[in-house]
Structure 1
Amino acid sequence: MTLIAALAALTPWMGRAEEVQVAVASNFTAPMRVIAEQFERDTGHKALLAFGSTGKLYAQIRNGAPFSVLLAADDDVPARLEDEGLAVAGSRFTYAIGTLVLWSAKEAFINDRPEVLREQSFRHLAVANPKTAPYGAAAMATLTKLGLSDSVRDTLVQGENITQTYQFVASGNAELGFVALSQVVDDGVIRQGSSWVVPAAYHPPIRQDAILLNKGQENPAARALLEYLQSTEAAKVINAYGYDR
């Protein structure tokens, strides 16, 4: 194919490139940045990302925020938006299943077991707000499963979302905390500190659903992004950050 013919073939595709505003749960920050870069490279469309707790993103959507796609940290909020007529019926799907981890920036502090919680040789245990952040709700369910929700209550420090919770621990303001595995893993390996990966049976599944919001119905970039999230290329990134599909 000649250069002129190649450019002619590309021009219609490039002319259709659009932008999509995406509300993304905080725990999915790192993988979504990678996926957004690949999405733009592969499709020409650009994803404009806004991160926050799922509860706060839900409130913003209800108040008219200009998002076209929501990537939630649970499956409840997307279903609620669909029921309330704020999202496109039938567009919802699970893009990732999250993993909760008890993590400390200190080496050998946790030793791959939850006994550190019973020993309580710490002053602060960080959790995300369980009312707005599904990982926070999973953390509280884990403490209940361990029979420790009352005994550790006075040590809890609450992050507004899972990003702030991670920052509490990474900075040393909390000796340990419940965070998303995606925040501390690199190519399947926890990159620093010490940790205990919480068994899935200790809390309800963290099914993270995506949905097309009404504002994105006529936006080809929004539909393309949802399709891309289900691709092999996106799956590789999602799995590398410690999620299941």
Structure 2
Amino acid sequence: MHARIAALFAALVFSSHALAEQVQVAVAANFTAPLQAIAAEFEKDSGHSVVASFGATGQLYAQIQHGAPFEVLLSADESTPARLDSEDLGVSGSRFTYAVGSLVLWSAKPDYLDGSDAALKANQYKHLAIANPKAAPYGLAATEVLDKLGLSAAVKDKLVEGQNITQAYQFIATGNAELGFVALSQVYQDGQLSSGSAWIVPAELHTPIKQDALILRKGEQNPTAAAFMDYLKGEKAAAIIQSYGYTL
């Protein structure tokens, strides 16, 4: 009798482990905090887990091309997933826009920015941080803003580039740059600025930052990849995404 109960318990344990699957997700660095919150809810609701790798979209693209084991990509743009689709590295029909990002000029100093571009135009700072525009869509958007404002030449020698938007944020947070362009989601939650001072860049000053998700070929046979993408489209994920300043 005891042996039968033990065997039944072992079968149940094995079954629960078999059902608890993982999905490997490559995530644009700007979406780090929202993804961590969404992944926690997804695991709570489904029993499945997300194994996330964060980086600049361009770097993630290169890793996918070189065979990285990612099953889903959450990009910081729409062009990279479209390119992967065209290269037959994505699952056709799985691509959708999961968030539209906002760019913000941010300083860790509470009174440095007054909600406008005045300090940027005054050009009294030594360093202005941006993400690498060749790898990070938010970095590219930052260069578009500087072009539109006629400041590209004036600030050229003051730019410090992070490999991705997380490193750009760190330059500013540590005081190595007085100010810089980051994703609004890095400094904003639940309707308010978490620290420092900021100017939310008007959307018309740069190309819209539409962030697309895509199931990659390596995730085609993993039902957890499809389940995670469905969850990303749901109300709970949408509420988290919007709480970090993204629009849908």
Q: Establish whether residue 85 from structure 1 lines up as the match of residue 88 from structure 2.
A: yes
Q: Give the AA of the match of 1:78.
A: P
Rounded Cα–Cα distance in structure 2 between residues aligned with 1:69 and 1:118: 40
2:147 to 144, 148, 152: 144
Are 2:182 and 1:179 aligned? yes
Aligned equivalents of 1:161, 1:83: Cα separation in 2: 25
- The structural deviation recorded for 1:232 is 0.1
**CA RMSD in angstroms, aligned pairs only:** 1.7
- Name the CA distance, whole Å, in 1 between partners of 2:221 and 2:122: 55
- CA gap 1:137/1:40 in 2 versus in 1, 3 angstroms: same
State whether residues 17 and 221 of structure 1, in contact with CA within 8 Å, keep that contact through their aligned partners in structure 2.
Answer: no
**Post-superposition offset of 1:14:** 6.7
CA distance in structure 2 between the aligned counterparts of 1:93 and 1:243, rounded to whole angstroms: 15
Q: Does residue 96 of the first structure (1) align with residue 99 of the second (2)?
A: yes
- CA distance in 1: counterparts of 2:29 and 2:216, whole angstroms: 19
Could you tell me how far 1:110 is from its partner in structure 2?
A: 1.0
Per the alignment, residue 5 of structure 2 pairs with none
Residue 209 of structure 1 and its aligned partner are, at CA, apart by: 0.3
3-state DSSP class of the match of 2:153? coil
Q: What is the SS of the residue equivalent to 2:52? A: strand
Distance 1:191 1:15 in 2: 41
Residue number in structure 2 paired with 1:105? 108
> Could you tell me whether the CA contact under 8 Å between 1:70 and 1:210 is conserved in 2?
yes
Structure 1 residue 130 displacement after superposition: 0.3
Say whether residues 1:55 and 2:61 are aligned partners.
no
Letter in 1 for 2:233: Q
2:22 is matched with which residue: 14, 19, 22?
A: 19
| TM-score, scaled relative to structure 2 | 0.93
Deviations 1:132-168 (A, max 9, x none): 0000000000011111111111110000000000000
The TM-score normalised by the length of structure 1 is: 0.94
Q: What displacement does 1:17 show?
A: 2.3
Letter in 2 for 1:160: Q
What is the percent sequence identity of the aligned residues?
57
Q: Helix, strand or coil for the counterpart of 2:69?
A: coil
Aligned-residue offset at 1:15: 4.1
2:91 alignment partner AA: V
Which residue, 211, 221, 232 being the options, matches 2:235?
232
Partner of 2:71: 68
Q: Which residue of 2 aligns with 1:188?
A: 191
Shift of residue 118, structure 1, vs aligned partner: 1.4
Q: Which residue of 1 aligns with 2:121?
A: 118
What letter corresponds to residue 69 of structure 1 in structure 2?
V
Distance 2:116 2:157 in 1: 21
Tell me, in whole angstroms, the C-alpha distance in 2 between the residues paired with 1:42 and 1:15: 17
Which stretch of structure 1 is more off in the superposition, 184-193 or 70-79? 184-193
Deviations 1:144-201 (A, max 9, x none): 1111111111110000000000000000000000000000012120111110000110
Give the Å deviation of 1:12: 6.9
| Distance change in 2, residues 1:184/1:113 (3 Å) | same
Give the greater-gyration-radius structure (CA): 2
Q: SS of the residue aligned with 1:107? A: coil
Q: Report the residue type matching 2:94 in the other structure.
A: S
Moved over 3 A (4+): 11-15
Instruction: Please list the CA deviations of residues 91-114 of structure 1 after superposition, one character each: whole Å capped at 9, or x if unmatched.
Output: 000000000000000111110000
Task: Give 1:214's aligned residue.
Answer: 217
User: Unpaired runs of 5+ in structure 1?
Assistant: 1-6
Give the counterpart letter for 1:231 in structure 2: G
